[in-house]
Amino acid sequence: MKIRLKINGKDFAPHIYPSMILLDLLRDLGFKSVKRGCGTTNCGLCTIIMDNKSVLSCSVPAARADGKEIYTLEGFQDKAAEIAEFLADEGADQCGFCAPGFVMNVIALEKENPNPTEKEIDEYLVGNLCRCTGYMSQHRAMARYFAHKQKEA
């Protein structure tokens, strides 16, 4: 079956098989920032933005992406680099495996709510698994990032 979708601003019309999940399609198309972790929507490594919402691509059939606009980390290089600096400054990037999911969730949160509370930041961290840290460094990095953005505004 053939679908049409836009990924990072570019049009794609891939052939997919009926049981294909979006994570596999994106990786097959070369978007390697979208990682396979748990496959059960518990780790956040496969986070993308689809139609301006944070989505776990391991839980979406590829056919449901037909006609959608998708962004992966590759589509946010400048913003990702800026957020990564905040993560690095707080020691939140020890192995880096979870970083793409965290960065995508920061981007999604910023789109939905550019001035989140501490509780809202915590809610966005819940779906991201990091085995290296205790999440405090990620929380501090996100809080500092949003405080910095508020000063710029």
pLDDT digits (tens, 9 = 90+) for 116-137: 998 998 887 777 877 777 678 8
Give the CATH number for residue 15.
Answer: 3.10.20.30
**C-alpha pair distances (Å), 143 with each of 100, 116, 125, 139:** 17, 8, 12, 6
The reply to whether 145 and 87 lie within a common domain is yes
Domain containing residue 97? 76-152
The reply to whether 105 and 131 lie within a common domain is yes
pLDDT digits (tens, 9 = 90+) for 91-114: 888 777 888 888 998 999 998 899
Number of domains in the chain: 2
The pTM of the full predicted model, rounded to 2 decimals, is 0.89
Single residue among 21, 41, 74 that ends a domain in this structure:
74
Single residue among 74, 101, 123 that ends a domain in this structure:
74
The reply to whether 90 and 68 lie within a common domain is no
Q: Say whether pLDDT at 153 is over 80.
A: no
Single residue among 22, 46, 74 that ends a domain in this structure:
74
What whole-number distance in Å separates Cα of residue 25 and Cα of residue 15?
Answer: 9
